Structure 1
Amino acid sequence: MQRVQVLLVAKPWRGGLARYVFQALQDLLPGDVAWIPTYPVGAADRLAYVRDRARWRRALVARIGAVQYRAALFINHFPELDGLPPDDRHVLWLTDGPEPDAGGFMPYHRVFVSDPGYGEAIRGAVGTRRYAGELAFAFHPDIHRPQADRGRPEGFCMIANRDVKRDFHLGMLLAVGLRPRVYGNYFLRHPLALRHPGCFRPRVSNDAMGRVYARHALSLNVHARVLREGTNMRSFECAGYGVPQLIEYRPGLERHFEPDAEVAVYREPGQAVDAVRGLLADPRRARELAARAARRALAEHTYHHRLARALDGLISAARLRRPGH
């Protein structure tokens, strides 16, 4: 039987969340963690998943039961996981617009949400004792860090996928002649990209994002419609990369970054036009915002910080403190 301190049970998202969390776990507990993906990662595995998803997931539950651990961190839930017994060592982190589970998320002793806008519904499903509140996204300082040579960054960019709210915000910027460089699945797949082909580029890998941001003087972050409160992964990652940010405000953003002191914000789509122009015209102010955001992120918003909270009481505090930090 495999023995580890912490077992991570998570989907290997294209956005990198599970990879960043696992890397942070390895930093804190080197050689003493394991990751069981909740989505197939090889050809044979994918074939088995397509043929019978429920059976594949039941086999995954059996794999979890074959590991001995002090704590297990689950990122999101699916019905077959209800087959696990309730366990004080089980921690659930719900992201991406979670809905209450019919089974009440019974396998988990504590349940966090990345977006507290969904908190009341989840609290109602699991009860006050098990609801643990917000566990925001974060960044990994060894992965999301400034490029050694930024050159002379120019213009502004957005790395994001299609969303109806983003469509509207981008449309307003393009209509007044601003030309964001947009990386993601808009490329060749959306009317905006067809009308403004010079502004849209294909999706970039997570490892290439730092190079993209280094070429631009400003990052625009328009939240997806699903996000109700707080902010997304991009805000923390951009702070790590050291790029100035203009973020569409959502309630609770100020818990993570101080608006207009660490990140620039706008509240209505029309306000973005003047905000972009102002930041591009005042690179000194933009750089000062980025520097303050970077300091705040390093002090409070790494995945090591998030793990220390999520696993509090299950793993000793000394082991959840990153050496030298």
Structure 2
Amino acid sequence: MASINKRGTKQWNVRIRRKGYPLQTATFEKREDAETWARDVESKMDKGAFLCTKEAERTSLHEALDRYIEEYAPSLADHQREVNRAKFLQKRKIAQMSLAKVRGMDIAAFIKEREAEGVAGNTIRLDLATFSRLFETARKDWGMEYLDNPVKKARKPKVSRGRERRLQDGEEEKLLKHAPEDFGPVIKFALETAMRRGEIAALRWENVKLKESTVFLPKTKNGAARTVPLSPAALNVLKELPRDIKGSVFRLAPDEITQAMKKARAGAKLKDLRFHDLRHEAVSRLFEKTNLDIMQIQMITGHKTLQMLARYTHLRAVDLVKSLAETP
């Protein structure tokens, strides 16, 4: 039988003694939370389904994130970004809670905090994805199979529609004019191939086939390898670069590409232009300036689903209207 005793003015201590089980104790700020926990533990004991949660109770979310960074993050494609996100999450108030005590309501409170800070819905979803991977890893790989994943119980924020930033007349020329010398080829290549920042940074000469006019990407954001066909302009960019058969093609890390983009954008005095917008521009041009069908474009861009390309189809519709108008 559980005993619930008040400690001070704001804490309720629960102690459960049951033959065949170690003493279970926990402390809560509200009596109703203490009673809920006690009922849950005793119910599981009655059913023979109780598992001791001491390890999860002793481990804070902050400590678990440390282990996650060391053991799990290195297996991800963009592990440095995941490490940075995990370290950021360690600074949040929720990180001081023990793994066993984090509930859906705590995740919901975290979401509200981030929304109040003006953070975009997609960024919050990325935060939640890290939390979710952490709980799943603790449950499956760290012997804490009794843990629930509280992220699954919280309402996810809505994701805003994808950015629509396009290069306006003269902006490409301005950007190239003010780009650092080693960054200009990256801009041109991105606009011709629609490749992501990480894909461009990871491109190595051994995966470049100049005679076949293709580059092979063994690891991409969605986890699937793909071969990207090169336009004559993209091919020329590669032919003009110094070549090290076993080295990086552009010799810039992802973060260096971002910093170079900031410098070029500032010098060109362009507003709200990000490197990823070049991918959006490149995909738009594939719809506007080629006769490739949507399946062929998907093979080039590496979008996981055709639905992700649906927002570009209006561009092809505009061209069809023009063609119909020109038909005798």
In the superposition, the TM-score normalised over structure 2's length comes to 0.29
Point out the structure with the larger strand share.
1
Greater helix content: 2
TM-score by length of 1: 0.29
Point out the structure with max Rg over C-alpha: 2
